[in-house]
Amino acid sequence: MTKVTTEDLLDEIAGCCAGARRILFITGAGISADSGLPTYRGIGGLYDGNATDEGYAIEDALSGEMMRQHPEIAWKYLAQIEATCRGARPNAAHAAIAWLENRAAVTVLTQNVDGLHRAAGSTDLIEIHGTLHRLVCTGCGLRREVADYDGLPLPPGCPDCEGLLRPEVVLFGEALPEGAIRRLVEILQGGVDLVFSIGTTSVFPYIAEPVLWARERGVPSVEINPGETRVSRFVDYRLRMGAADAMVRLRARLGG
């Protein structure tokens, strides 16, 4: 039996991309690893299960309840995450996905709150966990874009109503944004020709579901991840590689 090599897989995946009119990319913390961001536990990938300075589990410190009861604690760790992300730039994987918009209709469903897909130029984004760079007032609903948190008082107050400002991210224990869920449903109902899962362990059902949807409908699916994940056994093509390496080689095959 002839062994299928990585080069063979890349050739086949490139063929799928070349023939696809609509592509869905699902991305997690692993796609930002080559931008210098960590991939382990926590929003944005910053904590590995250790207790916070106050003795809370990070899931409790970064929860909606903590934001309501003790916003100074929630903001302390959100600010640490933003500081870790500050200065990071999109890497070759982000750039390749944005470049593919020249060839097909591309939608990116990302768990990441670092804003790197947007910075790379991707335009059809479903930021299912929100973004660190948009603040919203819990009182009047004012929204404010920020480049970083440098100089912000913690917790910050709203300039209009003196309510509490918070990042527009999904904290632990909070519901996913309805608009993002509706958009994902619309994309799947409209149909896609190819699904990628990149740099995510797919532990959340809404992240794994599009891969399962593709399998049920005979739509090709690709996983790019060095490790084993919840969807590894369901995909058609599996690349045990880092995201940037894989996407650079794939882009080269497509003439990029």
Question: What are the residue numbers of the active site?
Answer: 129
Local structure of residue 161 (DSSP, 8 states): T
Closest CA to 28 of 113, 101, 107, 90: 113
| Helices of type H across the chain | 6-19, 58-61, 64-69, 71-85, 92-99, 116-120, 178-190, 205-217, 243-253
Residues 6+ apart with CB under 8 A from 80: 46
Q: Burial, 84: exposed, middle or buried (Cβ in 10 Å; 0-12, 13-18, 19+)?
A: middle
Would strands 130-137 and 143-145 be described as parallel, antiparallel, or unpaired? antiparallel
Return the structure tokens found at 205: 């059902």
The CA distance from 157 to 38, in Å, is 30
